[in-house]
Amino acid sequence: MIVHVWRRAIEADLGPVVVACQDIEIAEVIESVGGEAELTASHHVSGSDRIYEAVQARDPEGRYDVVLNLQGDLPTIKPEILRSALHSLEVLRADIGTAAAPLKEDEIYDKNVVKVLIDPISGTNMGSALDFFRTTDNLTNKTIRHHIGIYAYRRPVLSQFIELQPTASERKLGLEQLRAMDAGMTIGVGLVDTFPLGVDTPADLLIARDRISTN
pLDDT digits (tens, 9 = 90+) for 156-214: 999 999 999 999 999 999 999 999 999 999 999 999 998 887 776 777 777 767 777 66
The DSSP H or E segment spanning 3 is helix 2-12
pLDDT value of position 111: 86
Q: How far apart are CA 189 and CA 207, in angstroms?
A: 27
Domain residue extents for the chain:
63-214
Torsion of CA 86, 169, 165, 45, to 10 degrees: -70
Tens-place pLDDT, residues 51-60: 999 999 999 9
Q: What is the mean pLDDT of the chain?
A: 90
In whole angstroms, how large is the CA radius of gyration of the chain? 17
Classify domain 63-214 at the CATH topology level. Answer: Spore Coat Polysaccharide Biosynthesis Protein SpsA; Chain A (3.90.550)
Tens-place pLDDT, residues 63-77: 999 999 998 888 889
Q: How far apart are CA 164 and CA 66, in angstroms?
A: 19
Tens-place pLDDT, residues 4-14: 899 999 999 99
> pTM value?
0.89
Q: How far apart are CA 68 and CA 14, in angstroms?
A: 9
